[in-house]
Amino acid sequence: MANMARAALTLPLLLCLLCFSAVAYGVFVSNLNAACLRCLCFAITGCNATLACSKGYCGPFYISRVYWADAGKPVFPEDDPERAGAYQDCAKEYNCAASIVTNYMARFGRDCNRDGVTNCDDYAMIHYNGGFSCETSLEGTNFSAKYEVCRPGTLSDV
Ligand X SMILES: *[C@@H]1O[C@H](CO)[C@@H](O)[C@H](O)[C@H]1NC(C)=O
Closest separation in Å from C-beta 115 to ligand X: 25
Rounded Cα distance between 137 and 141, Å, is 9
Per-residue contact string for residues 33-52; x = within reach of ligand X by CB under 6 A: -------------x-x-xx-
Closest separation in Å from C-beta 153 to ligand X: 25
Q: By CB under 6 A, is residue 97 in contact with ligand X?
A: no
CB neighbour list of residue 143: distance below 8 Å, 6 or more residues apart: 43, 44, 124, 128
Q: By CB under 6 A, is residue 156 in contact with ligand X?
A: no
Sign of the torsion formed by the C-alpha atoms of 12, 19, 107 and 36: negative
Nearer to ligand X, 14 or 145 (CB): 145
Q: By CB under 6 A, is residue 10 in contact with ligand X?
A: no
Q: By CB under 6 A, is residue 56 in contact with ligand X?
A: no
Q: By CB under 6 A, is residue 142 in contact with ligand X?
A: yes
With beta carbons less than 8 A apart as the criterion, state whether 146 and 43 touch.
yes
Number of neighbours of residue 141 by Cβ within 10 angstroms: 14
